[in-house]
Amino acid sequence: MSADTTITTPPVGEGGGGGGASPAHVIIVGGGFAGLALVRRLAKARRRGRLDVRVTLIDRRNHHTFQPLLYQVATAGLQTQDVGISLRAILRHQDVEIRLGEVTGVDTVGHVVTLADGARLSYDHLVIAAGAITEDFGVPGVAEHAFGLKSLAEATMLRNQVLRRFEEASRALADGPADEDGTLSFVIAGGGPTGVELAGALAELVDLVVRRDHPSLDIDRVRIVLVEARDALLGGFSARSSRAALDGLQERGVDVRLEVGIASVTADHVTLTDGETIPARLVIWAAGVGASPIATLLGVTLGRGRRIPVDEHLRVVGIDDVFAVGDIAASEGADGQLLPQVAPVAIQHAGHVAQVLADAAKGRTTPAFRYRDKGSMATIGRASAVAELPGGLRMRGTIAWLAWLVLHLLMLAGFRNRVSVLLSWIWNYLRHDHSARLILDQREATTAETSRGPVTRSWAA
């Protein structure tokens, strides 16, 4: 299809609902970066009289998660509410219906979405913005024994496990100086931004917080191993930035392994592809991202990474009324390669789909989607980061770190969240502290201690 071809979706209502026609119903599945951006863009077009639509947002969680900072929740730097915010709070003034539910079926012929509770919602236009999940590439034991980092629940559970490891080690000081059972060994798979940032934050937690919280613990026993199958960290960055990340992590005591992968994971050890076995009771998988399983509901042949194939207007190939945006879309850049699964891509996807719908309402054509790369950043630790911006501008060290802080504050949804995160960062920096180091076990809430003994609550049965 040529870039100037008019999309053949049913016409979207024009502003004002001319002639008394009902507004077209747009269903958006997913409240991540793409979903929120699209709701806002559609609301803006509606207020300006450019579009007459009714919007429903469906998500299985009632909150938006700012995934770029999940690693800070996992390492006790931020609270869950700092990076999560209620969808209803964010979209309070956007005139959108919010449905808490999980999509279990999509009838692209009948234009109906089915939810797990049996509800059936009809649509004129459907936008799949369900994001991504952890991809384990079929490595044995990863699904059973490794932690992903895609949700607040996973980040909280990971934080619990990290902190428990140090509590267990403190209780077992009499076992000797060697960490033979891997209690204090942490293996991180994947040397992309998430893996690098997580390794740096974990090393900082150990050096600044654990050292003081557990004064009798031999910190030298702690082992943080970052495993990357390629020959450099931060794939997609320049060689200079990759080297800066490597040097920064090694200075913080992280054992970085390049050109080696993970062959298998068990409950107490990791086997690398070179045959080495590392005793470790906590493995964090940041090595792969796959599309949400909802992609399989459309009945189309999925592309690389099980992502949904889309045309130049982000419409699902072969289905006129369904779009895919964000991490779940197999959208290509000018070089023919899949665009990265990052927030800037998702937000620009949303803007394009809103433009397509607005243009269709006026009978206009829409230019093909073109991604505008605004650069990449990754933090290595305190006052250390790398940033690569358009025009060949590259920064390292403190100035890159400050730029990283500012950008992430601006991207956070909600003024309260921005203030809370900023204050936490200031506290952590000045006090050399991570204030969110609480071990919260949700299982504790499933039973009640009564005069008759422990009772399992009805909702926990």
Residue 109 CB neighbours (<10 A): 7
The CATH number that applies at residue 280 is: 3.50.50.100
Q: Is 182 found in the same domain as 247?
A: yes
The enclosing domain of 352 has a CATH number of: 3.50.50.60
Res 308: pLDDT: 96
pLDDT digits (tens, 9 = 90+) for 260-294: 999 999 999 999 999 999 999 999 999 988 889 99
Residue 445 in domain? no
Helices (H), 99-174: 142-145, 152-171
Please report whether residue 239 resides in a domain: yes
Domain membership flag for residue 67: no
> Measured between alpha carbons, how far is 236 from 351 in angstroms, rounded to an integer?
25
Whole-structure pTM value: 0.89
Host domain of residue 309 = 18-60+101-134+290-361
- Nearest by Cα to 282 from 208, 216, 199, 355: 199
- Domain final residue pick, 361, 383, 407: 361
Of the candidates 361, 383, 400, which is a domain's last residue?
Answer: 361
Q: Are 225 and 186 in contact (CB under 8 A)?
A: yes
Do 115 and 176 lie in one domain? The reply is: no
Please state, in angstroms and rounded to a whole number, the distance separating the CA atoms of residues 36 and 39: 5
Say if 126 falls within a structural domain. yes
Domain count, the chain: 2
Question: Are 264 and 158 contained in the same domain?
Answer: yes
pLDDT digits (tens, 9 = 90+) for 17-60: 344 568 999 999 999 999 999 999 999 999 988 899 999 999 99
Residue 224 in this model has a pLDDT that exceeds 60: yes
User: What digits encode the pLDDT tens for the residues 94-108?
Assistant: 999 999 999 999 999
Same domain, 390 and 245: yes
Residue 458 neighbours by CB under 8 Å, 6+ apart: none
Any domain includes 203: yes
The lowest-confidence range among 8-12, 24-28, 113-117, 441-445 is 8-12
Using one digit for the tens of pLDDT, what is the confidence trace for 432-443? Answer: 888 888 888 766
Q: Which of 110, 114, 57, 118 is nearest to 86 (CA)?
A: 57
pLDDT in tens, 198-219: 999 999 999 999 999 999 898 9
The answer to whether residue 452 scores a pLDDT higher than 80 is: no
331 and 233 housed in the same domain: no
Containing 258, the helix (H) or strand (E) segment is strand 255-258
User: Does residue 218 sit in the same domain as residue 356?
Assistant: no
Q: What DSSP element (H or E) covers 376?
A: strand 376-381
What three-state secondary structure class fits 263? strand
Residue 342: both structure tokens together? 């990052």
Pairwise CA distance, residues 21 & 41, whole Å? 22
Residue 40 lies in a domain: yes
| 193 and 250 both lie in a single domain | yes
**Is 50 in the same domain as 173?**
no
Q: Does 272 reside within a domain?
A: yes
Q: How confident is the model at residue 128 (pLDDT cuts 50, 70, 90)?
A: very high
Question: What is the per-residue pLDDT across 312-337, written as a single tens digit (0 to 9) for each?
Answer: 999 999 998 999 999 999 999 988 89
Distance CA 87, CA 92 (A): 8
Q: What does the pLDDT read at residue 5?
A: 35
Catalytic residue set: 197
Dihedral over Cα of 69, 74, 75, 77: its sign? positive
In this structure, are 276 and 403 located in the same domain? yes
Portion of the chain with pLDDT greater than 70, in percent: 92
Confidence (pLDDT) at 44: 94
Residue 446 three-state SS: helix
* Secondary structure (3-state) at 329: strand
Tokens, residue 316 = 């699902």
Asked, for residue 448, whether it belongs to a domain, the answer is no
Average pLDDT taken over every residue of the chain: 90
pLDDT for the residue 459 = 63
- In a shared domain, residues 276 and 301: no
pLDDT digits (tens, 9 = 90+) for 395-431: 999 999 999 999 999 999 889 999 999 999 999 999 8
**Are residues 426 and 403 located together in one domain of the fold?**
yes
d(CA 314, CA 292): 17
Identify whether residues 283 and 304 lie together within a single domain.
no
